[in-house]
Structure 1
Amino acid sequence: MTESLKLRLIKNAGWLFSAEVISKLFAYGIIVVLSRTLGPEGLGQYSFIFYYVGLLGIFSDLGVGYYFMREVARDRSKAEELLPDVLGFKVVLAMLNFLVIVALTLPLPKPEWMKILIILVGAEAMLTWVAYIFIRIMYAHEVTKYEAIARVAERTWAFFVGGATLYFRRSLTSFVLILLIGYAVRELLRIKWGSRFVDVIKIRFRPEVWISILKKSYPFWLMGLFTMIYYRTDMVMLSLMRGDYETGIYRAAYTLIEVSLFIPKVLFATTMPSMARLWTEDRRTLEMLLKKSFQLVLGLGVLGAVGYYILARLGVIVVFGDNFLPSAHVLRILSLVIPFMFLNSLLGSFMNATGKERTFMKIAGLTALLNVVLNYILIPYYSASGAAIATVISQGIISISLLGLYHKKIEIETSPGI
């Protein structure tokens, strides 16, 4: 691995690592305040609103953003050519997806005030979905500091202003409205800073070009859809099948697990563009990068699983209080998923960066279906613990499949002329 690449990766990882640590501290501080002021039911309602909108955001991208990032990472001159059509496509998709959210929310068996909040969150999400393209531009140019600043700014607002609103008003509605203001500011910052990497921002509406892009991007969309199912369907199914209390219990445990997930998230954001570029320029260096990253995430994943299992009860009581004590058992189950999630993030990023996205898509699709079936079977009998078991099994199957491909087929070819 060249010295310049090492320095660039370390610098980018440093920015995102710092941002993740700060923003996660604030984010989990907010969850703690929310859980202690509104209890398991309030946490369950909050989780349902945002996970529901996230799950319904399946048509907001269609893989266009990921495809755009990979192509620009390989050849930065493509940014000017692709961006106008990608932006036009994203705007149309965001609007159509919002209409889907409204149509499916109105008949939902939830209180009217929750339906209104869901629609408002969906309206703000349109700006978020468009702003993601500008994050992709920055990542494709291997620059992460602006995204780090935008995240920290939003989380700072949410923690201090949103936390104060929760503490004094004890109102989920007021809290969500404060969050939406912070989200909007974050997206505007992303658009502003991402625009620096292109000469002119244009938007084109050419359906024939969109179809051409979609033919190349749809595997990324399907992978994003399947990934969304992993991370969001359990919360939504719990809420609809067992109510807000069980959702809150599960969310508390999963919130603690999410603390560790900033590691693969940072790794993905810093290495994926480099993997895509090295795949065409220097595969020997790519092989070294992948091996070192593999050793790192596996070691950290195992250590994380052991730590969470041992400290589960103490962690739940200290962070959420005695009312959430049932979350400790759920957390012990979920601790087993950490090594799988770490490995899946790395190996999935490698496959996407090197043109093997269709293989990853098939694996992700089958396990996503399994995840839904397992949740449907296990939640009625084991509630939040059932959702946790379904998550562990699904992620474990993905890891086994990807590791099998890694050893048999996905070795990096380093012979001349490839």
Structure 2
Amino acid sequence: MFSLAKLTNNPASFGAIKNAAWLIGEKILSMLLVLVVSILISRHLGPERFGQLNYIIAIVSLVAPLSSLGLNAIITREVVNAPEKQDEIMSTALVLRLLTGCFSVLLLYIASMLGFFTELGALDWGIIALSAVNIFTALHVIDFWFQAKVQSKSIVKVRFLAILCSSIVKSLLVWFDADTAAFVWATAFEFLLISFLYLLIYYYRQQRFSLMKVNWQYGMNLIGQSKWLVLSGISAVIYVKIDQVMLAEMVSSSEVGIYAVAGRLSEVWYFFPTAVVASFFPSLLKKKAQDEAVYKAQLQRLNDALVLGAVAVALPVTFLADWLIVLLYGVEYQAAGVILSLHIWAGIFAFMRALLNKWLLAEHLLLFSLVTQGIGAVVNVLLNYLLIPELHGVGAAIATIISSAFACYIALFFHHSTRPMAIIMTKSLFMFTRVFTWKPVRSSKRTSDKEGIG
């Protein structure tokens, strides 16, 4: 069974927990701030205009994996394993992400010129504006340097400062009765501000980017490692964001606004597994090299904790969904209540996915990241196509749950390489059955020593 004491019995794990505490603390404050501002904006714009704003953000999100190049966790791993080459690693990763960011802008510009985003009308320029600013999110490689050092205290401060400034700007726009276009520019401002502050704190720590440090051969090697992560990232975004795009094209912007409200309350919790797993990842990598039995035991405990966290969120939200929606967003969004009560259960698979992503990287099984995310994307698109015309947002929520189950859990049973994690997840999902069967996991080294003595 899950035990917090087991995770804190060594300095490395304790340091990871302290790092996670900073990440989670910042995310809780940010979550509350973003949620309050989102409520103000949704009430101000109404379902239709709020839906248009979220449609623009969803479209830009679809190409975000191209900009990140799937290098996030790889950067952390590379800096952990070769700290003496960190300048080369960071500079090379930054340049690669800047170049692919420019390619993403070109891609969306062509799509816009071909008339793909008909629902936006005069606001189609917002897609190009946001994607252009999104180029500077290449500087988010700095975040993963801090994760590798297990020193998130500084980075969470600047990230919260950026969100605070952005929230003040957006609140003022609501106060002055601004239109949808103003909120598009406010979102662009937030992208730019957080990237600039990341750069500032990185330079404050006496770290530097340099074109002279860019190693193109090493960069090609990184792309070779991350190619499956890029494609899997695109697949992941498709099964997370395509529902809003399809709702806009198949129903209306108003339906997107209603669905976005439910999705925001449901997905706002996804910071928790990301923060926890990011903090434990360096420690897990070291444990894997030192003792396979302890490594597997920590994987199980961590996954248990993630499932417990997801259920702890989903249960109360399910019963309070209607009341929460009306209280926070008003009667205009009342239809989002039933959507939220369903959508929140996709969180169980999203929480486990955070650990799965790191496990695939540690086990050098990145191809399966693409396979599983691809299965989720295909299932989601098909189910959305079948369910949205009749059930609208409710259909999209059902599609999200089922596709998440396929991408994050069911697909793992299809191959022997990923089946060990499927078994870990199954034990977590049915952890109550292990209360009377649990046995402490012993170090493989100690076991082998005893066998040798015998």
- TM, length-normalised to structure 2: 0.85
CA contact (8 A) 1:150 1:189 kept: yes
1:381-402 Cα distance to aligned partner (Å, 9 max, x none): 2111111111000111222344
1:60 to 54, 67, 75: 67
Aligned to 1:102: 109
Once residues 86 and 342 of structure 2 are traced to their aligned partners in structure 1, the CA distance between those partners, rounded to angstroms, is: 44
Distance 1:42 1:414 in 2: 58
Is the contact made by 1:51 and 1:236 (CA closer than 8 Å) also made in structure 2? yes
Q: Matches of 1:195 and 1:278 in 2, distance apart?
A: 31
Cα distance in 2 for residues equivalent to 1:200 and 1:326: 50
1:375 and 1:390 in contact (8 A); partners too: yes
Among residues 13, 16, 32, which one is paired with 1:9 in the alignment?
Answer: 16
Structure 2 residue 154 is the aligned partner of structure 1 residue 139: no
Q: Deviations over 1:358-392 (max 9, x none)?
A: 23332222222111111122112211111111100
The answer on whether the counterparts of 1:283 and 1:413 sit within 8 Å (CA) in structure 2 is: no
Q: Which residue of 2 aligns with 1:245?
A: 254
- Greater Cα offset, 387-396 or 192-201: 192-201
Structure 2 Cα separation of the partners of residues 65 and 13 of structure 1: 17
- Answer yes or no: is 1:31 the counterpart of 2:41: no
| Structure 1 segment 41-190 matched on structure 2, within 5 A | 41-106=48-113, 107=115, 108-111=117-120, 113-128=122-137, 130-190=138-198
CA distance in 2, matches of 1:408, 1:265: 21
Partner of 1:19: 26
Q: 1:405 aligns with which of 399, 420, 437?
A: 420
Question: Shift in Å at residue 39 of structure 1?
Answer: 0.8
Q: Of the two, which has the highest radius of gyration? A: 2
Q: Structure 1 stretch 25-34 or stretch 258-267: which is displaced more?
A: 258-267
State the 4+ residue runs in structure 1 displaced beyond 6 angstroms: 409-414
More deviation, 220-229/61-70:
61-70
Secondary structure of the residue that 2:118 maps to in structure 1? Answer: coil
Alignment of 1:269-280 (within 5 A): 269-280=278-289
**Please, what TM-score do these two structures have when normalized by structure 1?**
0.92
Structure 1 residue 328 corresponds to structure 2 residue 337: yes
Tell me the distance in 2 between the aligned counterparts of 1:110 and 1:39. 16
How many residue pairs get aligned? The number is 416
2:183 is the counterpart of 1:194: no
Q: Give 1:147's aligned amino acid.
A: I
Q: Distance in 2 between matches of 1:230 and 1:150?
A: 31
1:291 partnered with 2:300: yes
Q: Would the aligned equivalents of 2:229 and 2:369 in 1 still touch at CA under 8 Å?
A: no
Shift of 1:22: 1.0
Q: Distance in 2 between matches of 1:183 and 1:301?
A: 28
Q: Matched residue of 1:217: which SS?
A: helix
Query: Is the alpha carbon distance of 1:347 and 1:208 closer, same or farther for their aligned partners in structure 2, counting shifts above 3 Å?
Result: closer
- Unaligned segments of structure 1, at least 5 residues: none
Q: State which drifts further: 400-409 or 77-86.
A: 400-409
Superposed CA RMSD:
2.5
Q: 1:246 deviation in Å? A: 0.7
Gaps of 5+ in 2: 1-6, 414-418, 428-440, 449-454
The amino acid across from 2:348 in the alignment is P
Task: Name the CA shift for 1:157/1:293 in 2 (closer, same or farther; >3 Å).
Answer: same
Tell me which residue corresponds to 2:369.
360
Separation in 2, partners of 1:267, 1:211: 30
Q: Quick check: 2:24–2:276 contact (8 Å CA) kept in 1?
A: no
Q: 1:384 to 1:72 in 2, by over 3 A?
A: same
Is the contact made by 2:105 and 2:131 (CA closer than 8 Å) also made in structure 1? yes
Following superposition, the deviation at residue 262 of structure 1 comes to: 2.1
Match of 1:235 among 238, 241, 244: 244
Task: State the 1:23 CA deviation.
Answer: 0.8
- Equivalence for 2:388: 379
Tell me which amino acid in the other structure corresponds to 2:387: L
Partners of 1:47 and 1:317 lie apart in 2 by 20
2-structure distance, mates of 1:409, 1:28: 33
Which string of whole-angstrom CA distances, capped at 9 and with x for unpartnered residues, describes residues 258-313 of structure 1?
Answer: 23222212122212232233322443443342222122111222222221111111
Once residues 413 and 329 of structure 1 are traced to their aligned partners in structure 2, the CA distance between those partners, rounded to angstroms, is 46
Matched-pair contact (CA < 8 Å) for 2:44–2:174: yes
Give the C-alpha shift of residue 169 in structure 1: 2.0
Counterpart contact for 1:42–1:172, Cα < 8 Å? yes
